[in-house]
Each structure stands twice: as C-alpha cells, then as structure tokens.
C-alpha cells in the first residue's frame, strides 16, 4: 500500500478525534505529512462539538492523573518523613516531656505581667492534653487545682453541650469542673465545613498559681539561656 492510500484512513482517524501524535503511532507516517493531510479535514458542527468535548475530557483525565501522581508522591514523602522522625526522636523521656512543656508555655502560655497566674490557651486537643498531663505529672499540680474554660464563637452556642463533652472526655474532667463558657460575639457570615467538629479553644489555668507562674517563667529563662548557648556555639 502506497503512502497516499493511507490518507482516507488518516482523515477518518482525525475525524474520530485522534490526535496527530496518535495517528502517527498508528500509521507510521511523519508528522509533517499528517499535518498537511489533516488540515483539510472538515468537521460538521456535531463532529466538532464531540471532538472538543473528547479533548476536554482527555485534558481533565490527564490533569486528574497528574494530580493523583503528585498526591501519591506527597504521601510517600510524608510517610518517609514520619518514619525518619520516629527514629530521630524515639520515645520521650521524663526530661524530654519537662522541656517540651516549658517550650510550649514559652511559645503559647501567658507571660504578661497583667496575668497573675499560670494560663495556657490553645485549640489543639493534643497540645492541650499534653499540657494538662504536664501540669499533673511533671509539675505535680493536683487535678482539682486545674481550671478549664471553653472559648468559642456565639454561633456554636446551640452545640455547647457536645463541645463541653469533647473537652471533658479529652481531659477526663467532669463537666462541672469547667467554668462557664465564654462566647465570642464577633459575627461570622460564613459557615465553615468543620462547623460540627469545631471545639473552640480551651483555657487551662491553675488556682492560686502566681508562684507557679514564676517557677515556669524561671524554667523558660534557663531554657532560653541553653538555647542561646547552642546558637552562639553554632555561630562561632
């Protein structure tokens, strides 16, 4: 079969929605030949619409395939990072927990002179649970000396019962141990997807804790001094 005898087949393939590259693979013809032959292919309105829709679908499929591949790479990288982190950190010792609590209060706790006692506020349940256990296990604060208070936007008032139960279960504290919730009055026009799983922030404080605050601030100063030593050593 001569090359020219393939032209009807090429035209048919082109009208069926095949790309120049796909036709090249099927026929073995050069790209330049196919471009010349296919430029005269005339599509009816229905054929043109079907062809465009097929191209759009193929494009969407390609984008989705690429996005999934990138997502898979990200998951592999994240899992690898987690495995490496486990090897580096290992099991936390009692001293590790003490320093972690000091660092968290350094970053997130109230250090202002206007606050007379120990106050730690955060929305991360794991962080709040850790600081609660830190107070009890590392600082030796009796559980009945710890005060908890929920702060949440007014739009969650109707579900405050489930919010209270969440924090109560997390900290193993009876609902009666919590202070009256604080409702922020700011207007939220947008209802977020996590509306039913949002639990606001929790304020952990300790009764008569002025001396405790001084103690924790002292621990922070020692930690800061140690960090400064490391920074200076690395810089020299």
pLDDT at 52: 64
- Give dist(CA 225, CA 236) in Å, integer: 17
User: Is 140 among the domain residues?
Assistant: yes
Dihedral sign computed on CA atoms, order 112, 188, 164, 167: negative
User: Is 24 among the domain residues?
Assistant: no
Phi, psi of 232 (to 5 degrees): -65, -40
User: Is 229 among the domain residues?
Assistant: yes
- Helix-helix angle 210-235:94-108, to 10 degrees: 100
pLDDT at 115: 79
Query: Which strand ranges, in their side-by-side order, compose the sheet holding 182-184?
Result: 119-122, 201-206, 146-153, 182-184
User: Is 98 among the domain residues?
Assistant: yes
Instruction: Give pTM, 2 decimals.
Output: 0.66
User: Is 54 among the domain residues?
Assistant: no
Residues contacting 51, CB < 8 A, separation 6+: 15, 17, 43
Q: What is the mean pLDDT of each run of 10 residues along the chain (236 residues)?
A: 75 79 84 76 62 66 83 90 88 93 94 88 96 96 94 93 95 90 80 83 94 94 90 74
Residues contacting 35, CB < 8 A, separation 6+: 20
Phi, psi of 199 (to 5 degrees): -120, 20
- Give dist(CA 95, CA 137) in Å, integer: 12
User: Is 138 among the domain residues?
Assistant: yes
pLDDT at 55: 63
Domain holding 106, by residue range, is 94-235
User: Is 39 among the domain residues?
Assistant: no
Number of structural domains in the chain: 1
User: Is 64 among the domain residues?
Assistant: no
């Amino acid at each position: 079969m001569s090359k020219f005898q393939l032209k009807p087949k090429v035209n048919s393939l082109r009208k069926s929605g095949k790309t120049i590259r796909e036709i090249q693979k099927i026929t073995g013809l050069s790209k330049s030949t196919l471009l010349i032959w296919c430029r005269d292919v005339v599509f009816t309105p229905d054929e043109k619409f079907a062809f465009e829709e097929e191209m759009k679908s193929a494009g969407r499929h390609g984008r989705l395939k690429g996005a999934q591949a990138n997502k898979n790479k990200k998951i592999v990288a994240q899992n690898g990072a987690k495995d490496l982190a486990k090897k580096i950190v290992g099991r936390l010792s009692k001293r590790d927990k003490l320093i972690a609590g000091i660092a968290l209060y350094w970053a997130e706790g109230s250090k202002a002179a206007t606050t007379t006692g120990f106050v730690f506020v955060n929305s991360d349940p794991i962080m709040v649970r850790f600081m609660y256990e830190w107070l009890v296990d590392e600082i030796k604060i009796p559980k009945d000396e710890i005060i908890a208070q929920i702060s949440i936007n007014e739009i969650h008032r109707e579900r405050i019962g489930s919010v209270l139960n969440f924090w109560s279960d997390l900290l193993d504290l009876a609902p009666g141990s919590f202070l009256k919730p604080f409702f922020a009055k700011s207007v939220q026009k947008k209802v977020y997807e996590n509306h039913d799983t949002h639990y606001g922030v929790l304020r952990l404080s300790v009764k008569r804790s002025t001396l405790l605050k001084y103690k924790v601030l002292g621990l922070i100063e020692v930690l800061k001094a140690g960090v400064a030593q490391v920074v200076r050593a690395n810089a020299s």
